Amino acid sequence: MANGEAVLQAILARRSIRRFRPDPLPREMVEKLLDAAMAAPSGNNVRPWHFVVVQDAGRRRQLSQVHRWAYMVAEAPLAIAVCADASSTEFWLDDCSAATENILIAAQALGLGGVWIGIHQSAQYQEQVRQALGIPSRYTVHCLLAIGYPAEQKPPHGRHDPAKVHWETW
């Protein structure tokens, strides 16, 4: 498979993985995920992102209780809280989302799976994550990622929807 094709396949094969094997991830893999995150584009090159890397089981259990769709953080060996200095740029949500997507594609490339868990939509969710991880109040919590070796397999979405594409004009 040519390199370009491998990249497209990784993008298309990525699915939200919510079941994980308990095996911890080598530090080198975690560093590669963070490399990918910080290679994301950033509006005006502000790079407002911060990443809290959580492997401790007790702390992950605490994060898993933030809302009902965060349960998989307890099982996944790795959680990453993506945070931002939101006062520094009007593009913090774009930048954190691009970094998060890079992590998920890099995880796919490394044979891992992961899921993106929204946090920024609720001040209460954000505060719970801040308290669990000692994040200063001036930082916005964008999302949590649960990542690990997948214990479930899913076929690619294959959800190219022509109704969402407009040629030249709407």
In the complex, which residues of this chain contact its own copies (CB under 8 A)? 1, 3-12, 14, 16, 31-32, 34-36, 38-41, 43, 47, 49-56, 59, 90-91, 93-94, 97-98, 100-102, 104-106, 108-111, 115-116, 118, 121, 133-136, 143, 156-157, 159-161, 164-170
Taking the complex as a whole, the smallest distance from the CB of residue 23 to its own copies amounts, in Å, to: 17
Half-sphere exposure at residue 24, Cβ-oriented, CA atoms within 13 angstroms: 8
Token pair 């990453």 is at which residue? Answer: 80
**What six digits make up the tokens of 65?**
């209780």
Closest CA to 69 of 122, 33, 108: 122
Taking the complex as a whole, the smallest distance from the CB of residue 75 to its own copies amounts, in Å, to: 18
Output 23 or 170, the one with its CB closest to its own copies.
170
Closest CA to 152 of 38, 9, 6, 15: 15
Q: In angstroms, rounded to a whole number, what is the distance separating the alpha carbons of residues 119 and 59?
A: 16
Output 5 or 23, the one with its CB closest to its own copies.
5
Taking the complex as a whole, the smallest distance from the CB of residue 30 to its own copies amounts, in Å, to: 9
